[in-house]
Chains A and B, each alone.
Chain A
Amino acid sequence: MKRGWKSWSWQAGWPRAPKEHIEVARQLEQIWSDRPKSDEHVIPNIFVRSRDGLVVTLGAAPDETGEFYFLEHSRNMTVDELNSLALDARRRVQDRGKAIAQVRSSFRWIGILLPKRIRDEEIGDALEDLHRIINDPNSPNIRRAVRWKIISTWFWLAWRVVTRVSAAIRGRSAS
């Protein structure tokens, strides 16, 4: 498979690269391959080359022909810089994964009181929107947008529960 940087990097003469470069490249590869499937946009594709220093290219993506083009920039980094980049990326993946998991579990409780269709549709759409907000690099204030989305979703789900319960008491069906 062409996706990923490992095959590319081996073509670039990795067997002759210094040991420390190979070690960092392996760490990055591990982080890249461990990321959850749902977080594909959190860490962009990473290409690492070993030259005078380590050269990292972020944000590479395949075009329609399947060839890679570069959305961002390449940059020479020291091993320490690369290590901190790897650490940052790992922390970001963990933080976002944790945030999404917390949101999911909070919706699970209120979802128990609602029929499956409403759960699937309203909670599913809210989670999908949250996922988009969290992974949108142009989002101006992610924390506020996420908080607002959670509060509004909670409010509307609670409203659905109230209308359903009151309709059931009055013996009518609620939409």
Chain B
Amino acid sequence: MEPPVSAKAALLAVLIRGEGYGLDLIKRANERSNGGVKLHQGNVYPALRDLEAEGLVKSWEAEPTPERGGRPRRYYKLTAAGQRAALQQQHAVAGLFGLVLAFFSKEATR
């Protein structure tokens, strides 16, 4: 079963480590989660466009390359608001993780 992580949350977690373009972000999300989070063409691009519309990421076009049929890559980067959102998300996840640990340690001492 895939972990219930939304594409937007996964993208924020990946983008906080540096800018990237669609294909690269799919690969990085997969590598960082040891294959647990699987972003794909169907969910990554709409999520990136949504994040941009919400002002959490900004994008720009790089030089066209021949292997892309002369099309440019579109790179994405977190805005200041995006960085805040990504950090909040990290803290929230860490908090949840702490709660789960506390629960299990209580269970163990019972």
Residues of A at under 8 Å CB distance from B? Answer: 36-38, 104, 107, 117-129, 131-132, 152-153, 155-156, 159, 175
Contacts and interface: CB of A to CB of B under 8 A. Distances in A.
20 contacts: A37-B66, A38-B67, A120-B71, A120-B72, A120-B74, A121-B22, A121-B74, A122-B45, A123-B71, A124-B68, A125-B23, A127-B67, A127-B68, A127-B71, A128-B67, A129-B23, A131-B67, A155-B42, A175-B49, A175-B50
Given A125-B21, A127-B69, 15 more contacts: A36-B66, A37-B66, A120-B71, A122-B45, A123-B69, A123-B71, A124-B73, A125-B22, A125-B23, A125-B41, A127-B67, A128-B73, A152-B41, A156-B42, A175-B49
B1 interface: no
Contacts of B22: 121-122, 125
Contacts of B46: 175
- B-side interface mostly: helix
Contacts of A152: 40-42
Interface of B: 21-23, 40-42, 45-46, 49-50, 53, 61, 65-69, 71-74
Nearest to A126: B41
Nearest to B70: A124
A135 to B, nearest CB: 9
A144 to B, nearest CB: 17
A151 to B, nearest CB: 11
Given A121-B22, A175-B49, A175-B53, A159 B72 contact: no
Nearest to A173: B53
Sorted nearest first, the 3 A-B pairs with minimum C-beta distance are: A124-B71, A124-B68, A38-B66
Contacts of A117: 74
Nearest to B68: A124
Contacts of B45: 118, 121-122
B61 A120 contact: yes
Contact of B68 (A37, A118, A128, A175): A128
A124 B50 CA distance: 20
Contacts of A129: 23
A37 B53 CA distance: 37
A153 B50 CA distance: 20
A32 B17 CA distance: 40
A107 B69 CA distance: 10
